[in-house]
Amino acid sequence: MPAAPGYRQRQVLMDNDRLRRTLQRIAHEIVERHSDQAGTVLVGIRSRGVPLARRLASMIRDAVGVAPPVGALDITLYRDDLRMSASQPTLRGTDIPVSIDERTVILVDDVLFTGRSVRGALDELIDFGRPARIELAVVVDRGHRELPIRADYVGGVVSTAREDIVQVLIEEEDGQDAVVIIKPHDALGELSSHATRAVNEKARKPSSPRAAARRRR
């Protein structure tokens, strides 16, 4: 994938295998918390949240024999920066296959950044019904929140500078699986090693139920 102009330094934070294990761990945490998959629905935030939600659903099926239903949320119509974006938005559509009333909805997204997409997703979900509970699963939490939003399931925490770009690449959308950070040309060195260290520490920790519980707190 070519980097945007001015963003030259690309570094892999998670490779194919690491991303798979990360999703596996999130799937297990979901199963730990929700024994009844019939009361759960995974809703991916377009675009990359959707294939991620599908993968989590199939991993949950491998673990407990039943896959939760998977939906897709296109939050374009709910964005708070629509009037500020210079380019015309593209719609890909929302598809919630089951009633979300009284179910636990687990929102799935690739990167948690300002929290504004999640805000839009929450607003849109509420227009579809009254879920018993809404949780959030993300592959990467890169900080810089602008709203009081946190994730319930986090694949990895990465320290970033605001102008960095963190991308979760998905086979279905991008032709490969990886998490990469793209840094402005002049900001390499110190920041990039910082980010790598953060992810490595996270990955070294064994994923015990106790560790998962600690993360949730």
Partner 1 sequence: MTRFSGRHLLGIEPLEPADISALLDTAETLREVLTRPIKKVPTLRGKTIVNLFYEASTRTRSSFEMAEKALSADTLSISMATASVQKGETLLDTARNIEAMQPDMIVMRHSSSGAPHFLSRNCRSAVVNAGDGAHEHPTQALLDAFTLRQKRGRLQGLRVAIIGDLLHSRVMRSNLWLLKKMKADVILCGPPTLVPPGIESLAPCTFRIDEAIEGADAVMMLRIQLERMSGGFFPSLREYHQRFGLTEARMKRAKNNVLIMHPGPINRGVEIASEVADGPYSVILDQVTNGVAVRMAVLFLLLGGSEVAS
Note the residues at the interface with partner 1 (CB under 8 A).
74, 76-78, 82-95, 123-124, 127-129
Shorter beta-carbon distance to partner 1: residue 35 or 86: 86
Shorter beta-carbon distance to partner 1: residue 35 or 87: 87
Shorter beta-carbon distance to partner 1: residue 93 or 175: 93
Shorter beta-carbon distance to partner 1: residue 130 or 144: 130
* CA 188 to mean position of chain CA atoms: 25
Q: Is-contact 87 81, C-beta < 8 A?
A: no
Shorter beta-carbon distance to partner 1: residue 76 or 196: 76
Burial 166-184 (b: 16+ CB within 10 A, else e): bbbbbeeeeeebbbbbbbb
- Distance CA(42)–CA(50), nearest Å, equals 9
Least distance from partner 1 to the Cβ atom of residue 98, Å: 13
Least distance from partner 1 to the Cβ atom of residue 109, Å: 19
Long-range pairs for 80-84: beta carbons < 8 A, 24 or more residues apart = 80/116, 80/119, 80/120, 81/116
Q: Is-contact 145 119, C-beta < 8 A?
A: no
Least distance from partner 1 to the Cβ atom of residue 116, Å: 14
Copy the structure tokens of residue 181.
Answer: 């950070």
- Distance CA(60)–CA(64), nearest Å, equals 6
Least distance from partner 1 to the Cβ atom of residue 101, Å: 9
Least distance from partner 1 to the Cβ atom of residue 87, Å: 7
* Burial class of 86 by CB neighbour count within 10 A (0 to 12, 13 to 18, 19+): exposed
